[in-house]
Amino acid sequence: MKVFCRSALCVVIAVPVCGLLGCAVLMKPVRMTGLAAKDLTVQVTIDAGANQDSVVAADVVAVDDKKVLGEVSAMTATQWFAKKNDMIRMKGKDLKIVSWEFVPGTIVPDQHLTVTIGKTGVILFANYAGKGEHRATLPQTGRVQVDFGADDFAVHLPKETSDATPTQ
């Protein structure tokens, strides 16, 4: 009799739980797969007189859609920073943005980013006071050196990383 009561109790508990959870508890777990994430290390140097001795705002923008990449990569840094909030509002699901502010003359530790492999492109914008595009394409993985100078920045790659292209 006790065995029957325990079985009946299990059924009484399992049916409502199954109804609440959609029987997912009783089903075999499904393994979710996704895109792999890799690290991008950005080594930063910033000259003492960078950006007319003013803070340099910089955004690394990882883009997930070819059309959005075309739109973003056509912008100058001035346009990007002016339209950034609108882009986040309208295209946010296709963008991953990491923002920095660098004080001229300071020593900056390496910046480590995780970029999902499969992103369409990665772009660096720097908000300099002077005229210029102030943007560059970065690799999705590996190491990259970014030197923020007086009027612009330069991207340098180790020999094994070759898919970054400055577009200043």
User: Domains of the chain by range and CATH?
Assistant: 1-31 (no CATH), 37-166 (2.60.40.4150)
Greater confidence (112 vs 33) lies with: 112
The whole-number average pLDDT for the span 35-60 is: 90
pTM exceeding the 0.75 threshold for the entire prediction: no
pLDDT exceeds 80 at position 61:
yes
DSSP letters of 108-150? -PPEEEEEEBTBSEEEEEEE-SSSS--EEEE-SSEEEEEEE-S
